[in-house]
Amino acid sequence: MDTQTNEPTTIVHHGGSVNNYRSEIAIFPEEDLGICVLFNSQNSLARTCIPDLHKIIQGIMKTPVEKDLKESLVLL
């Protein structure tokens, strides 16, 4: 749910683990954004890493800066 418009948003998400490695992947098509986080162990961060990073990225994208700088921050 978009917190500003209260409209539903599409999120494609998959997470999983194998041999003690963990991954979380999410795509936000309306925002042209994808997030992938890889862990080399099982840990409690995996459960909230996607929403936490999404919130940080949304804050960056709403900050008034030059367009080129905004795009480079998202590519990090």
Pairing between strand 33-39 and 12-18? unpaired
Nearest 5 degrees, angle CA 22-CA 59-CA 50? 15
Q: Which two tokens stand for residue 66?
A: 């030059």
Supply the pLDDT for residue 54. 93
Q: Would the pTM count as exceeding 0.85? A: no
Mean residue pLDDT of the chain comes to 84
Judge whether residue 75 has pLDDT over 60.
no
Scanning 1-76, the segments in alpha helix (DSSP H) are: 49-62, 67-75
Range 36-65 average pLDDT: 89
pLDDT in tens, 28-48: 998 889 999 999 998 899 999
Judge whether residue 66 has pLDDT over 80.
no
Please check whether residue 74 is in contact with residue 65, taking contact to mean a CB–CB distance below 8 angstroms.
no
For residue 41, CA distances in Å to 21, 25, 36, 58 come to 5, 16, 15, 27
